[in-house]
Amino acid sequence: QKEVEQNSGPLSVPEGAIASLNCTYSDRGSQSFFWYRQYSGKSPELIMSIYSNGDKEDGRFTAQLNKASQYVSLLIRDSQPSDSATYLCAVILGSASKIIFGSGTRLSIRP
Amino acid sequence: EAGVVQSPRYKIIEKKQPVAFWCNPISGHNTLYWYRQNLGQGPELLIRYENEEAVDDSQLPKDRFSAERLKGVDSTLKIQPAELGDSAVYLCASSLQGELFFGEGSRLTVL
């Protein structure tokens, strides 16, 4: 089992709709979770961090965390073509304090 | 505030040649990471530094890879000799409270 798992996609969503990206992790002791966006040929950039169970909203982005289910998700409302990118889930593993990335989900917003 | 600076941006070498990458983190960030990213994959951790100490190098292929972070600021990652499978983007990131800030990366092509 991989430490951080994501569906590789591609996930195709119409413009203006909600895009839902999911991530599961294996280390139950993990406490910190992040979503990064990576455009083709560019480096990852942080868009959201979440540390507590529940929802955290920032503009059109909402991160959701469920530690009991070891599940973290990212919702993008009113999806725009500029949201087309690969979204990487990252987790600080509780056992080792190192940041591990999933393989990323490629999101495509179609006009 | 200056971001993470990496050089070179691109490097093409023949197999068995050595190569080195340099990283200057964001001022005040004590934690520095080197990741390797292959096409279509998430970043893979190679080594993590806390100041000048390598606290996690379990994923670093020590037969050919080496890294150093003298004085706890700049860092260098070296590969000697390079193999075809080392072709990838090498990302440096510095961290504040777990949130990673990446440099632009160094794209290595081994022929």
**How much is the average pLDDT of B7-26?**
97
Give me the residue from B42, B45, B95 closest to A104, CB to CB.
B42
For B44-81, the three-class secondary structure string (H helix, E strand, C coil) is: EEEEEEECCEEEECCCCCCCCEEEECHHHCCEEEEECC
pLDDT(B66) > 90: yes
* B5 interfacial to chain A (CB closer than 8 Å): no
Q: Which of A10, A54, A63 is nearest to A36 (CA)?
A: A63
* B100 interfacial to chain A (CB closer than 8 Å): yes
B41/A104 CB distance under 8 A: yes
Across chain B, mean pLDDT equals: 94
**How much is the average pLDDT of B18-47?**
95
d(CA B42, CA A3): 12
pLDDT in tens, A60-111: 999 999 999 999 999 999 999 999 999 999 999 876 678 999 999 999 999 9
pLDDT in tens, B80-101: 999 999 999 999 999 977 899 9
**How much is the average pLDDT of A9-23?**
96
pLDDT(A11) > 90: yes
Return the pLDDT at A94: 75
* B41 interfacial to chain A (CB closer than 8 Å): yes
Return the pLDDT at B1: 67
* A40 interfacial to chain B (CB closer than 8 Å): no
Q: Which of B34, B22, B33, B39 is nearest to B87 (CA)?
A: B39
Return the pLDDT at A96: 67
**How much is the average pLDDT of A2-21?**
94
CA B100, A40, B11, B3 torsion: positive or negative?
negative
Give the pLDDT band of residue B58 (cuts 50, 70, 90): confident
B101/A90 CB distance under 8 A: no
pLDDT in tens, B36-55: 999 999 999 999 999 999 99
Chain A residues in contact with B31 by the CB 8 A cut-off are none
CB B110 within 8 A of CB B87: yes
**Distance in Å, alpha carbon of B77 to nearest chain A alpha carbon:** 18
Give me the residue from A42, A46, A103 closest to B100, CB to CB.
A46
* A87 interfacial to chain B (CB closer than 8 Å): no
Return the pLDDT at A95: 65
* B25 interfacial to chain A (CB closer than 8 Å): no
